Structure 1
Amino acid sequence: MRSVFNQPEAVVLASKHLLDGTGRLRWVYRELAPTTPQDSGWFLFADNDTEAWNDQPDNFMPLIIETALAIEPSLQNILDLPYGTDLVLDDRLGIKGWWDPKTKTPVWLADGSVDSTFKIVNGEVIEK
Structure 2
Amino acid sequence: MRSVFNQPEAVVLASKHLIDGSGQLRWVYRELAPTTPQDSGWFLFADNDSEQWNADPANFMPLVIDTATALAPSLKAILDLPYGTDLVFDARPGVQGWWDPKTKTPVWLADGSVTPNIQVVAGEVIESETR
Q: Which amino acid aligns with 2:40?
A: S
Partner of 1:120: 120
What amino acid is the match of 2:64?
Answer: I
Whole-angstrom distance in 2 between the partners of 1:29 and 1:56: 17
For the aligned residue pairs, the C-alpha RMSD in angstroms reads: 0.7
Q: How does 1:6-17 map to 2 (within 5 A)?
A: 6-17=6-17
Q: Conserved in 1, the CA contact under 8 Å of 2:8 and 2:64?
A: no
Secondary structure (helix, strand or coil) at the match of 2:119 reads: strand
| Matched-pair contact (CA < 8 Å) for 2:29–2:42 | yes
Per-residue CA distance 1:24-59 (angstroms, 9 max, x = gap) = 000000001101100000000000000000000000
How many residues are matched? Answer: 128
CA distance, structure 1, for counterparts of residue 58 and residue 48 of structure 2: 16
Give the TM-score normalised by structure 2. 0.95
> How many angstroms apart in 1 are the aligned matches of 2:34 and 2:10?
11
Superposed CA deviations along residues 67-115 of structure 1, whole A, max 9, x for unmatched, are 1001110101100111000000001122110000000000001111111
Q: Distance in 2 between matches of 1:74 and 1:35?
A: 25
CA contact (8 A) 2:8 2:65 kept: no
Determine the C-alpha separation between the residues in 1 that align with 2:75 and 2:123.
17
Q: Name the aligned partner's letter for residue 74 of structure 1.
A: S
Map of 1:80-119 to 2, 5 A cutoff?
80-119=80-119
* CA distance in structure 2 between the partners assigned to 1:71 and 1:119 by the alignment: 23
